[in-house]
Chains A and B, each alone.
Chain A
Amino acid sequence: MDFGPTTVIKELSFDVARGETFGFLGSNGSGKTTTIRALLGIYQPTSGILHIDGRPFRPAKGDRLGYLPEERGLYKKESVIDVMTYFGTLKGLGRQQAKSWSLKFLQRVDLADKEKARLDKLSGGQQQKIQLGVTIMNDPELLILDEPTKGFDPVNRRLVMQIIDETKKAGATVMMVTHQMEEVERLCDRVILLKDGVSRAYGTVREVQESFGGTIIHVDHDGAVPASASYTIAHDQGGHATLEIDPVTDPARVLQELVAAGLVVRAFTPQRKSLDEIFLEVYGDEAARAE
């Protein structure tokens, strides 16, 4: 994907399996939104195409796609119900069907009394709820969400995530761009991590965690932790040690080694690197450069 002489996305290819939740991760400017726009034909890609069920995707050809863009916006001078009905009809619902779906959704998100209000009279968060409704109202098979919880308070964030989860349970495949790593760990089956338009990690959350340095083990003990080829001692002081093991080493074997070496182990807690830590590891050098 080129912007004039600059190549922004480089030979990026990935699959999203039916019914899974896929996390599309990366720092600001790493190419996430550009990739999605190119996939959907909003940008003309230099090469490449989005296939759904093996068919090339073209908007408005009957594919049940729900897309919540990063740049939020609807027809602000129109009423909530008119805009929702319009988009519902464009997405293939009948007018009445679109209207009744919209009314139910408004009740679900506590906006039933805003049915006839103009969109520009609603708060930013309320407008975002309407936009989410418009995105999912055609019962999408593929739901692409670009920072779906951006701008929501914790209560509404939980509500939005519930609605997304319900849509997934109804059979949708969800592709989500987000910076909320806790959400990714909780919701995503697989992720891709972009840096400078190139994939830096791709797989299940566990696979990605393992590919970035495996496991950390916190050990509370009496005595001194003996040196071993099975682990690296990152820290050992005051009866608390932190050991690092590579992805192929089984933590149980480490425990056996420690006990066999005569160490009194009071607590043994293996812990994978969080996505937050991995994110910082990948992009930390950029932050350092910026400083």
Chain B
Amino acid sequence: MAQHNLGTVIRFEVVRTLSKRRFWVATLLVPVLLIVVFLLVFLSNTATDETEGAQKDAQFSFDYTDASGLVEPAMVKRLGGKEISDPAAGIAAVKDATVAAFFLYPKDPATDTIKVYGVDKGLFANGQYASVAESILQQSALAKVNAPQLTGIIQGNITIDTTTFKDGAVAGGMNAVIPAMLFVVIFYVVILLLGGQMLNSTLEEKENRVTEMILTTIRPTSLILGKVISLFIIGIVQMLVFAVPVVLAHVFFRNQLSLPDLDLSALVFDPQTMIVGTLVLIGGFALFTTTLVALGAAMPTAKDAGPVFGAMMLLIFIPFYIISLIISDPGAVIVQIFSYFPYSAPITALLRNAFGTLPLWQAIIIIVMLFGISAVVLRIAVKIFQYGSIEYSRKVNLRDVFHRRATP
């Protein structure tokens, strides 16, 4: 009967959530926003490309003086420039708008500033003067090297392949970090989107006065467990919905959207990292879900639960304030505290796991801790619901609940 009821609760909770227009509006809002952002990036990239091209090909009249002797006069002539000897005359010509710009190259451009004067064309268009002045000097310097190999190196046309070793085997590097960081993203998205629903899942029984009907029909453990599992299923559905536009964008519009040319085949899925990531994710999800469900059972309304809910949400962001320590000094006291404090542990552990600074023994302790505390909190949630949710209009007295005393 209990198993039958667990399935019934899961089905009811999942179906009614997925059949709500409100759920789909909230869920589809994220991919829609992603599409809008992608579209803006696409349009912006197109405009930037066009601007860059225009600046590169910019043609305008200019004068220059060259104290360094590095500038190639032939190149400048091709660009429409003319060398003069008096800087003051050059500046005056710009002031009169006789020429569009005047460049003053100092004796040592490596240490002294190149001065550029131009007729104002607006904040963004003015950038072309400096671009052309810099380009002239760079091209002139490259021409003096007169060796294609050296020219290529100076221009940065080189490729580097770094191989690092961990425990005698080739380490994954960034290709191993990316898959493990997905767990962090999933945790954030699921908790942020489903947090409210977790909180409301037991509040609903109280607010609708269904508690007595439910408690005489089904074991509270089956009800609470059913709600937790259904939230997990709903979270998976949401992740799938979010993933669709990202995958479509990556497959079909990667170049247009300037997405990183990610070679998926190069990603390293280290079994230990992935298993630890999965278990910490599930353990963290279970802990937050059971805690929020317990909170919902204890509080009369969502408004009353607000402050505690806010504090819990804060705890999943706090580890990011020490992310540099998490990466560079995982042994730091603050990192250790965040790693073992249950409500900051999931994000801290997932970040350390992704960056390879979470030893297996610590991972095991954290995973056991998360699952253990989740089980305890689940028991507490059940007890609060069983003996406390009848308190329709006031906060549950936890002392009464834990001493199994009746409350009127």
Least CB separation from B5: chain A residue: A90
Q: Determine which of A44, A86, A89, A90 lies in contact with B406 in the assembled complex, contact meaning CB atoms within 8 Å.
A: A44
Flag whether B2 is at the interface (Cβ < 8 A).
Answer: yes
Least CB separation from A43: chain B residue: B406
> How many whole Å from A82's CB to the nearest CB in chain B?
7
Q: Residues 99-112 of chain B: 1 if any A CB is under 8 Å from the residue's CB, otherwise 0?
A: 00000000000000
Q: Determine which of B1, B390, B392, B404 lies in contact with A62 in the assembled complex, contact meaning CB atoms within 8 Å.
A: B1
A44→B213 contact, CB < 8 A: no
A60→B405 contact, CB < 8 A: no
A2→B217 contact, CB < 8 A: no
Q: How far is the CA of A91 from the CA of B217 in the complex (A)?
A: 6
Q: How far is the CA of A59 from the CA of B219 in the complex (A)?
A: 7
Give the chain B neighbours of A8 by CB distance below 8 A: 408
Give the chain A neighbours of B218 by CB distance below 8 A: 59-60, 90
B215→A40 contact, CB < 8 A: yes
Q: Residues 10-44 of chain B: 1 if any A CB is under 8 Å from the residue's CB, otherwise 0?
A: 00100010000000000000000000000000000
Q: How far is the CA of A131 from the CA of B216 in the complex (A)?
A: 14
Least CB separation from A4: chain B residue: B405
Q: How far is the CA of A59 from the CA of B12 in the complex (A)?
A: 20
Least CB separation from A57: chain B residue: B216
B1→A1 contact, CB < 8 A: no
- Tally chain B residues at the interface, Cβ within 8 Å: 30
> How many whole Å from B211's CB to the nearest CB in chain A?
8
A34→B408 contact, CB < 8 A: yes
Interface centre among A82, A90, A92 (most CB of B within 10 A): A90
Q: How far is the CA of A86 from the CA of B8 in the complex (A)?
A: 7
Q: How far is the CA of A202 from the CA of B171 in the complex (A)?
A: 82
Flag whether A283 is at the interface (Cβ < 8 A).
Answer: no
Which residues between 65 and 84 of chain A lie within 8 Å of chain B, taking CB atoms? 65, 67, 69, 71-76, 78, 82
Q: How far is the CA of A135 from the CA of B209 in the complex (A)?
A: 15
Evaluate whether A73 and B209 lie within 8 angstroms (CB atoms) in the complex, with A60-B2, A60-B222 already known: yes
Least CB separation from B400: chain A residue: A4
Q: How far is the CA of A3 from the CA of B404 in the complex (A)?
A: 11
B213→A73 contact, CB < 8 A: yes
Give the chain B neighbours of A106 by CB distance below 8 A: none
A75→B217 contact, CB < 8 A: no
Q: How far is the CA of A135 from the CA of B212 in the complex (A)?
A: 11
A72→B1 contact, CB < 8 A: no
Evaluate whether A67 and B209 lie within 8 angstroms (CB atoms) in the complex, with A43-B407, A44-B387, A44-B405 already known: no
Q: How far is the CA of A67 from the CA of B218 in the complex (A)?
A: 13
Flag whether A45 is at the interface (Cβ < 8 A).
Answer: yes
> How many whole Å from B357's CB to the nearest CB in chain A?
46
Q: How far is the CA of A3 from the CA of B390 in the complex (A)?
A: 14
Give the chain B neighbours of A42 by CB distance below 8 A: 211-212, 215-216, 390
Flag whether B210 is at the interface (Cβ < 8 A).
Answer: yes
Evaluate whether A59 and B216 lie within 8 angstroms (CB atoms) in the complex, with A3-B406, A4-B405 already known: yes
> How many whole Å from B329's CB to the nearest CB in chain A?
50
Give the chain A neighbours of B72 by CB distance below 8 A: none
Q: How far is the CA of A87 from the CA of B216 in the complex (A)?
A: 11
Evaluate whether A60 and B5 lie within 8 angstroms (CB atoms) in the complex, with A2-B406, A38-B406, A44-B406 already known: yes
Give the chain B neighbours of A134 by CB distance below 8 A: 213
Q: Residues 191-221 of chain B: 1 if any A CB is under 8 Å from the residue's CB, otherwise 0?
A: 0000000000000100011111101111100
Flag whether A289 is at the interface (Cβ < 8 A).
Answer: no
A74→B1 contact, CB < 8 A: no
Evaluate whether A43 and B204 lie within 8 angstroms (CB atoms) in the complex, with A3-B408, A59-B218 already known: no
Give the chain A neighbours of B219 by CB distance below 8 A: 59-60
Flag whether A41 is at the interface (Cβ < 8 A).
Answer: yes
The 6 lowest CB-CB distance pairs between A and B, nearest first, are A73-B209, A69-B212, A43-B406, A67-B216, A71-B209, A3-B408
A-B residue pairs in contact (CB < 8 Å), sample of 18 = A3-B405, A4-B405, A40-B215, A41-B215, A43-B387, A44-B405, A44-B406, A45-B406, A59-B216, A59-B218, A69-B213, A71-B209, A71-B212, A74-B210, A74-B213, A87-B213, A90-B9, A131-B213
